[in-house]
Structure 1
C-alpha cells in the first residue's frame, strides 16, 4: 500500500524557567529577555509552517512548577481547522495561521507565569515536557489515519542547568522516543546538558550550544529548520563528544564509576549492603586466596 505524505510534525519544548531568565548572572552575559527569545522562536515556527502546507506544529512551555501546552491551547479546536482561521482577521497583512499561533502562545505563556508566582524549586520539568510531547505525537499519528506517514520530531530549547533527579524519567522518555522513531534535537542557551547530549545521540538528533542568545534565530533556521531526511546533504556543525555519565540513585550525582544492583540495575556511588530501590540484600563473598606460584628451578648448564 502506498503511503501518503502528510508533512512533518514539529513539537518545540521551550524552557521558560523564571529563575534562570531572571538571574543576574544571565543578565551580565546577554540582554535578551524571554519575550525577545519567544519572538525569534515564533519566526522559526512560522518558517516551519511555510515550508509545507501539511506541516504541523505544537509548542510546550517547560516551567519549574508545571509543563503546559502553549499551542494548541487546552480546549481549543484543532490547529488546522479552517473554520477557526476564518474568524481571525489579518493584521498588517499577516497570515491568519501565523497570527493565531503567536497569539495563543503569548497568552498561554503569560497565564503560565502569572499562575506560578512562587517557584518551589529551580529545576525545569524537562522530562515531563518531553513526555507530553511524545503523547501529543502519538495522538496526532493516530488521527493521521492508515497509510499516512507523519514525520515527527522534537526540538528542545533549554536554558537552565540539568537536574540529576530527573535522570531516570529522562532516559525512559529518550528510549521511548527512539522506539517511536522520533528525533530529539537540542538547542542550548547556557550550560551544556549531558542528558540532552545522550538523548540527541540515541535518537539521531542534533545537539548544539549557541554562543549568543541574540543569534538564536540564525541557528534555528540554519540547523533545525531542515527535516532530518535532508541533513545529510547540508554542512552542519560537527558532532560533539557525548557525556554518557549516569546519575546515582542515592545522591543524584553524575558519576563515571559506581556500583550497579544486579536485580534492578540501580546505580550507586558508594557500596550499600541493601539496594534502596528494590531492597535486595547482597551477600558478600570472601575472595579466594591467591596461591603464589613456585618458581621453577633453572637447570644448570653443562
Structure 2
C-alpha cells in the first residue's frame, strides 16, 4: 500500500490566533472502481463541485476556520488542498472571494494531476482506512504546533461511494479508537452503498452517518447535516440515527459474522475453530468430549 505523507510544512495552515478554531478534513473517495463512477462518468464532477461548495461554506462561517481536503484513491492518498509546495498565486475572478477561488482552483488542479497519474487498469478497493490515518496524523501535528491557549476543534468527513471492505477491519478499528482518544469526530457521507464498518466509526467517535437518498441533492445534505459543528447538532433537527451494525469481520475470510471464535492471546476473530491461531501462532488444546453420565440401573424388587 503506497501512501503519500502529510503535506509539507510550507503548505500547512498557520494557527496564530488564540480564538477557537475549527479544522475540517474532508476525505473524498476518487477511486474509479466505484460503481456509481463506472455507470455515470460525470458523477465525479458533480461530487467535487458539491464538496468544494461545502468546504467554502465551512470557511465562510468563521475567519479562523481551517480546511484540508484529501483524495483517497485505489493505490495512494494525497492532500489536494492545501497542496504540497507554496500556495498558488490566483487572482480574483468574477467578484469571487480570493480564498474561495484558491480552494476551488487548487483542489481541481491537484485532483486532475492525481487522476492523470493513474495508469493501472486493475480495480482495487479504496484505501479509506489509510486516508483516515493520514488525516489523524495531520491533525495531531497541528495540535502540537498551535500556540498556547488556542483551542482547535477537529473533525473528519468521509465522502465515499465505495463499499467498506472487511479486509481493512483492523485498520478501521485502530483509526476509530485513536480518533475517539483524541476527541476527533468522524462523519461519513455514503453516496451509493451502506457502510457498516464506517457506521461503527461514527458511533464510536460521536459523528453522524448518512446515506444520501438522492445524489442530485448532495450539496443540500452536506450543508444541512455536516456543516454544523458537533456541539450545535444537538439543538438541530437532523436525520434520526439508524441501528448500528456492530458485527466483527473474521480474520480468515474477511467477512462479517454474528458468532465466532476469539483468540485469547491476540484477540483475533475466526468464523471456525482452529487449533492454531494464524495470527500469533498460539496452539490451543482441543476441547475434550463431554463426559456422558452412566445411566442408573433400575433396582428390581
TM-score norm. by structure 1 comes to 0.88
Supply the distance in 1 between the matched residues of 2:212 and 2:42 (Cα, whole angstroms).
14
Counterpart residue number, 1:221: 223
**Matched-pair contact (CA < 8 Å) for 2:155–2:184:** yes
Q: Secondary structure at the match of 1:19?
A: coil
**Matched-pair contact (CA < 8 Å) for 2:257–2:271:** yes
Supply the distance in 2 between the matched residues of 1:114 and 1:44 (Cα, whole angstroms).
25
Supply the distance in 1 between the matched residues of 2:123 and 2:266 (Cα, whole angstroms).
29
Match of 2:57 among 47, 63, 67: 47
C-alpha offsets along residues 109-151 of structure 1, whole Å, 9 cap, x if unaligned? Answer: 1111111121444201000110111011111112212221100
Supply the distance in 2 between the matched residues of 1:176 and 1:37 (Cα, whole angstroms).
29
Q: Secondary structure at the match of 2:19?
A: strand
C-alpha offsets along residues 160-198 of structure 1, whole Å, 9 cap, x if unaligned? Answer: 111111110111001000000000001110110011110
Match of 1:157 among 159, 167, 178: 159
Match of 2:78 among 63, 68, 72: 68
**Matched-pair contact (CA < 8 Å) for 1:11–1:60:** yes
Counterpart residue number, 1:241: 243
**Matched-pair contact (CA < 8 Å) for 2:37–2:44:** no
**Matched-pair contact (CA < 8 Å) for 1:174–1:199:** yes
Supply the distance in 2 between the matched residues of 1:120 and 1:127 (Cα, whole angstroms).
20
Counterpart residue number, 2:24: 10
Supply the distance in 2 between the matched residues of 1:101 and 1:57 (Cα, whole angstroms).
9
Counterpart residue number, 1:297: none
Counterpart residue number, 2:46: 36
Instruction: Report the aligned-residue RMSD.
Output: 2.1
Q: Give the paired residue count.
A: 282
TM-score norm. by structure 2 comes to 0.89
Supply the distance in 2 between the matched residues of 1:143 and 1:6 (Cα, whole angstroms).
15
Deviation at 1:75, TM superposition (A): 2.4
Match status 1:283 vs 2:298:
no
**Matched-pair contact (CA < 8 Å) for 2:26–2:69:** yes
Q: Secondary structure at the match of 1:48?
A: helix
Match status 1:22 vs 2:37:
yes
| 1:255-266 correspondence runs (5 A) | 255-266=257-268
Supply the distance in 1 between the matched residues of 2:256 and 2:121 (Cα, whole angstroms).
25
Supply the distance in 2 between the matched residues of 1:89 and 1:180 (Cα, whole angstroms).
38
Structure with the greater alpha carbon radius of gyration: 1
Supply the distance in 1 between the matched residues of 2:42 and 2:213 (Cα, whole angstroms).
13
**Matched-pair contact (CA < 8 Å) for 1:158–1:188:** yes
Q: Secondary structure at the match of 1:276?
A: coil
Q: Secondary structure at the match of 1:49?
A: helix
| 1:176-195 correspondence runs (5 A) | 176-195=178-197
Which segments of 5 or more consecutive residues in structure 1 lack a partner in the other structure? 78-83, 295-302
